[in-house]
Amino acid sequence: MTYASPAMDFRTTKSGRNPGVLTAGGVALALGALGVAVTSVLYALTPPAAALPAYPLDQALAGARTGARTLFWAGTVGIFSDIVMAVGTFLVALELVRRERAVAAGGWIAMLLSIVVFTLFDAIGGYVLAPLAEMNDGAGAFAGFKRLFDVLFLLGTVAFGGGAIVALADEMRTTVPIVRPPLAVIGALVGLAGMVAAAGCFIGLPFGQGVGISIGLGSVLFVAVGAQLVLKPQ
């Protein structure tokens, strides 16, 4: 009994943590989030009526025509960055499940689901809106896809912000965090700001710029989180 116990403790410790998974997840997370940051800049360079919710249809149509090139590049960079970032969030969630940290894993899974939503958002932005805006009889279809584009933007922000709050708040209370407390605090606050702005847009308030800013800040923050996971996995 006294001989077997240390070996069992050793196996439990090794099976409970796998820094290699966090390292791989950190690489994908940092690269994907960097691409999302570039995507955010490209959307910011697009006429606001095309990229943000709650603008009149005629302004959105004109904005999509004027900003067709930046919409295309924002969507193209975005869909590939989303996929890479999704892999990173999945690997981090997987490792947290292995460590029996269900609350934090749930937060990361919520962020993963939000990235799936943003993949659809970027696909519509890059490959649907501008072509429809250029069609002589495309106004009706454009209106429907623009509405879907706006809803996906807000829904993705709510899911990512909520997931970030849950995951990073859990980092603040655990004894072995994978994210440093300063990053966790800032990330939770950015997530909260994004959720509030998106909720405001859902009820008709003009907080679209705030949603976009929160996504941009959040992507930069998760570049730092990913880099930390690579350089110093726990």
Cα 124 from Cα 129, distance rounded (Å): 6
Q: How large is the angle between the packed helices 102-127 and 139-173, nearest 10 degrees?
A: 160
All structural domains of the chain with their residue ranges: 19-231
Concatenating the DSSP letter of every residue in 4-38 gives: HHHHHHHHHHHHH--HHHHHHHHHHHHHHHHHHHH
Cα 202 from Cα 221, distance rounded (Å): 25
CB atoms within 10 A of CB 217: 19
Cα 225 from Cα 49, distance rounded (Å): 32
pLDDT digit of tens for each residue in the chain (234 aa)? 444 444 433 333 444 566 799 999 999 999 999 999 999 999 999 999 999 998 999 999 999 999 999 999 999 999 999 999 999 999 999 999 999 999 999 999 999 999 999 999 999 999 999 999 999 999 999 999 999 999 999 999 999 999 999 999 999 999 999 999 999 999 999 999 999 999 999 999 999 999 999 999 999 999 999 999 999 866
